[in-house]
Amino acid sequence: MPSRTFSPFAPVDLAIAIGGLSAGGNDPSIAVDADGVWLATRSPDGPATLRFTQGNDITAEAWGPGADAALDRAPGICGAGDDPAGFAPEHPVVRRLLRRFPRVRITRSGAVVETLLRMIVGQRVTGTEARMGYARMARALGGPAPGPRPLTLPPDPERVAASGYAAFHPWGIERGRAETLIRAASRAKRMEEAAAMPLAEAYARITAVRGVGPWTAAKVGLVAFGDPDAVPVGDFHLPNTVAYALAGEERADDARMLDLLEEFRPHRGRVVQLLNAAHVVAPKYGPRPPIRTLEDR
């Protein structure tokens, strides 16, 4: 069983970092327990499972045919390669959040297709629908992960690409998202190449896939590209969250959100991650949107 120990640029909260890669609390590829933080992934050399443990340094152990390739990515996957130098916010709320969550890091998993599939499932639906849909798809198209911890691999891009859109309906994924998943998976090689590109080119590469817009691209940027300035424009809740946290305003649109975040450039995504870690929520009014089925759409 190969392993690697490395020192992060700055202290890391492994549970937050690896959890941020997930499609939600029931993501079958990720687990946090007393033995460490676990991630099942697909590398260029095949499937792998990583276990991260932390002392003064971080140790990553790996199982499976893709073990060595996964270990090469391990520092980025857990946020150990993120250097927050230069992030010295003056806003009092953000300063408090930084003191409260000093170990929040921007990850750079390099796993572009895995991240795309997770984020596409989350387009235009509630968080519960996204989590349920992704978990069902992963269990159907992933397969068991190698290693001692029972996990499910992320969906196999070849199997996703070979599926007709109707195959996604039992998982609660309608035709629009299903066809975007199929298009992204069918271009898996080109999508994965984006991880090694300059950010502007990387974003251009993934948004060339019809159905991958600014929201999805920014979500991929925060997880797979290591972009500390990525802001998911078009999110249902985020503008309200940002405005409530930074200005005490209960409602906002994307333009107002971007205006409030401008002072933090090039660390706007880092502020978003701090707000996520703090579970900041603007006041909600009216009934919650119902969990829908395909028959409702």
Least confident interval from 19-28, 161-170, 239-248: 19-28
Looking at residue 284, its pLDDT comes to 79
Looking at residue 293, its pLDDT comes to 54
User: Which pLDDT band, with edges at 50, 70 and 90, does 1 fall under?
Assistant: confident
3-class DSSP assignment, residue 63 = strand
Report CA-CA distances (Å) from 289 to 78, 125, 128, 222, 286: 34, 10, 11, 27, 9
| Number of alpha helices (DSSP H) and beta strands (DSSP E) in the chain | 13, 5
With a CB cutoff of 8 Å and minimum separation 6, the contacts of 170 are 136
- Taking residues 72-79, what's their average pLDDT? 98
297 pLDDT above the threshold of 70: no
pTM of structure: 0.93
Distance CA 133, CA 263 (A): 37
Alpha helices by DSSP H, listed for 175-291, are: 175-186, 188-193, 199-207, 214-220, 238-247, 254-261, 268-278
pLDDT tens digits for 82-115? 999 999 999 999 999 999 999 999 999 999 999 9
Report CA-CA distances (Å) from 23 to 20, 31, 67, 128, 258: 8, 12, 23, 10, 25
With a CB cutoff of 8 Å and minimum separation 6, the contacts of 253 are 239
Query: Using alpha carbons only, what angle is made at residue 81 by residues 73 and 113, rounded to the nearest 5 degrees?
Result: 40
> Residues, the chain, total?
297
Name the phi and psi angles at 266, rounded to 5.
-100, 40
204 pLDDT above the threshold of 70: yes
296 pLDDT above the threshold of 80: no
Looking at residue 290, its pLDDT comes to 52
Question: For 152, which DSSP code?
Answer: B
User: Which pLDDT band, with edges at 50, 70 and 90, does 136 fall under?
Assistant: very high
3-class DSSP assignment, residue 53 = strand
With a CB cutoff of 8 Å and minimum separation 6, the contacts of 116 are 184, 191, 206, 212, 216, 220
Looking at residue 65, its pLDDT comes to 98
Q: 83-97 burial string, b = 16+ CB within 10 Å, else e? A: ebeebebebebbeeb
Mean pLDDT computed over every residue of the chain:
94
> In which order are the strands placed within the sheet that holds 46-54?
3-6, 58-63, 46-54, 36-43, 30-33
Looking at residue 292, its pLDDT comes to 53
Looking at residue 287, its pLDDT comes to 52
Pick the CATH number of 112-142+149-220 from 3.30.465.10, 3.40.50.300, 1.10.340.30, 3.10.290.20: 1.10.340.30
Looking at residue 24, its pLDDT comes to 81
- Taking residues 245-256, what's their average pLDDT? 97
With a CB cutoff of 8 Å and minimum separation 6, the contacts of 264 are 89, 91, 94, 270, 271
pLDDT tens digits for 13-51? 999 999 999 988 889 999 999 999 999 999 999 999 999
Distance CA 80, CA 292 (A): 39
- Taking residues 272-294, what's their average pLDDT? 77
239 pLDDT above the threshold of 70: yes
Looking at residue 116, its pLDDT comes to 98
Looking at residue 294, its pLDDT comes to 57
Distance CA 186, CA 209 (A): 10
